[in-house]
């Protein structure tokens, strides 16, 4: 006897599920089916994404929400790729200084964060009076020219006493060729350096104040008519403004005076000690002195 299917039995029905591809950005897996281009948890998925762009050495990023690759110019441009990208704030990059140089010479450098470093540049010539500079040739309204007496001299303990400096030099110092030491009261019989490099030297002085070269003094006053008044007398002289000449004073009513080591004159004598006449700042004209022959005298200084 055949057993039949029950009339009311149901036929098999297929079971189908609709699965939606939802993005799980950040799970470390790149789900292409859901449209992910990369995943922040998988750096290899975007590591080379700058290759093929104008900045192939840069580093792309992966959007943590959309899992899309960001490899636009501002993403791939980076400090250290050797190319200056001003759009991202770089002033230089490695050896690429973007055409910048030190204004006055020196070594312009690039910092690790792609900014210009002027610390090794020369400051002289930048138009600004920097520390250690006396002047700047490119400075508008440069500091007024000082007197030589205000400048640092090359000879320690021997300051300038006269003269005018020249132009502002390329090393931001005043030219010292016009400076000298005439007027300090000390006879400089040999040339002295005027500038620190020794490029300029003074002429030998024949006098300074009342300090006279004895040979030059004798040449100027020897054989004068003053000896008719006293064998120790000579003409009253003065030193020229440049310390290069001894000038007799012929404009005086009494042009003669007594030489050093002459016996001190009496108060009513018509002749005074040359030291007293030529050096009004020193009233004590006579002093006790030993003569070269060893004798002692109270005479003119």
pLDDT digits (tens, 9 = 90+) for 160-199: 999 999 999 888 899 999 999 999 999 999 999 999 888 8
Distances (CA, A) of 129 to 42, 103, 126, 153, 177: 57, 14, 8, 20, 22
**Do 278 and 249 fall within a single domain?**
yes
CA distances from 31 to 24, 64, 69 (A): 8, 14, 13
Provide the token pair at 248: 């007799």
Length of the chain: 301
**Structural domain that includes position 51:** 24-78
Alpha carbons 52 and 50: distance in angstroms, whole number: 6
pLDDT score, position 1? 39
Looking at 181, 205, 229, the residue that finishes a domain is 205
Count CB atoms within 10 A of the CB of residue 133.
Answer: 18
Domain-embedded: residue 190: yes
CB 125 within 8 A of CB 136: yes
Identify the CA nearest to 174 among candidates 126, 136, 132: 136
> At residue 15, does pLDDT exceed 70?
no
pLDDT of residue 89: 82
**Is 116 within the bounds of a domain?**
no
* Of the residues 163, 189, 205, the one at which a domain ends: 205
């Amino acid at each position: 006897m055949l057993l039949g299917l029950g009339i009311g039995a149901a036929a098999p029905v297929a079971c189908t599920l609709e699965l939606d591809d939802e993005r799980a950005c950040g799970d470390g897996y790149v789900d292409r089916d859901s449209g992910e281009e990369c995943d922040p948890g998988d750096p290899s998925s975007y590591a080379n994404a700058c290759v093929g762009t104008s900045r192939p050495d840069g580093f792309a990023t992966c959007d943590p929400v959309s899992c899309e690759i960001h490899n636009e110019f501002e993403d791939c441009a980076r400090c250290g790729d050797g190319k200056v990208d001003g759009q991202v704030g770089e002033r230089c990059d490695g050896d690429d200084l973007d055409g910048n140089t030190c204004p006055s010479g020196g070594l312009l450098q690039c910092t690790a964060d792609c900014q210009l470093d002027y610390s090794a540049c020369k400051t002289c010539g930048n138009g600004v009076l920097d520390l250690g500079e006396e002047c700047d040739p490119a400075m508008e309204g440069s500091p007024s020219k000082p007197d030589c007496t205000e400048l640092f001299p090359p000879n320690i303990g021997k300051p300038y006493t006269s003269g005018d400096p020249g132009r502002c030099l390329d090393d931001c110092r005043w030219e010292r060729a016009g400076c000298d030491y005439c007027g300090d009261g000390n006879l400089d019989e040999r040339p002295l350096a005027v500038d620190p490099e020794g490029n300029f030297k003074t002429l030998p002085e024949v006098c300074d104040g009342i300090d006279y070269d004895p040979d030059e003094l004798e040449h100027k006053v020897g054989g004068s008519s003053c000896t008719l008044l006293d064998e120790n007398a000579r003409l009253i002289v003065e030193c020229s403004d440049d310390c290069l000449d001894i000038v007799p004073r012929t404009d005086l009513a009494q042009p003669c005076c007594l030489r050093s080591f002459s016996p001190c004159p009496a108060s009513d004598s018509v002749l005074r000690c040359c030291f007293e006449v030529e050096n009004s700042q020193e009233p004590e004209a006579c002093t006790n002195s030993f003569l070269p022959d060893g004798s002692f005298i109270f005479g003119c200084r």
